[in-house]
Structure 1
């Protein structure tokens, strides 16, 4: 099953401020918004929420420390080929997409949801 990693909302970042402000990841929120528009995706994807703080072991175990940014979509073995306008990367024998727009295009092409516009 294709796996989607998103950062949990309401995290703090001591490197950004000392007041304990709560944050969310705008790119992850965009993908989460598409999931809310198309709830059937939750049944077709293995969605895992990870902490903002690095390292993120669940991602590192699959595609390496240098690729632990979110959102990231790790494609299932035998995943459907995608059009040339989606950048698919490879690490540790896994294919993945880590650009928000490309993740949304992939979901549109693969699962038949609407395209971002």
Structure 2
């Protein structure tokens, strides 16, 4: 079975010790969650992983390295590239291209997975 693009998002409802007593969500991730929810038939073509907010994020590190843990993050399927790509994992044995910018991720969802375009 060919590999799929993997989208990493932060699970909502986390706490940040720098702001005691407050619950948070990642608004970039929430934006993308809304697009996924609006078009579930297209979202089915992605592997979506929701990870806890605290670092280290081992599942992300395993694919793209410790320096690329910021989320949201779209890790492209093995051997794939995108004009929207913002980096490539350092591991030569399983190097993967990735997109670490919310707007570029939204564009890749349109280009690679048939999601509609956002209205200008």
TM-score (ref. length: structure 2): 0.87
1:14-67 deviations in Å (ceiling 9; x for gaps): 11x12x210000000011111011111331111000000010000001101100
Where does residue 6 of structure 1 map in the other structure?
9
How many pairs are equivalent? Answer: 112
Where does residue 22 of structure 2 map in the other structure?
21
- Note the aligned Cα RMSD (angstroms): 1.3
Where does residue 55 of structure 1 map in the other structure?
56
Instruction: Report deviation, 1:95.
Output: 0.3
Question: Unaligned regions of 5+ residues in structure 1, if any?
Answer: none
Runs of 4+ that moved beyond 6 A: none
TM-score (ref. length: structure 1): 0.89
Where does residue 88 of structure 2 map in the other structure?
90
Where does residue 115 of structure 1 map in the other structure?
117
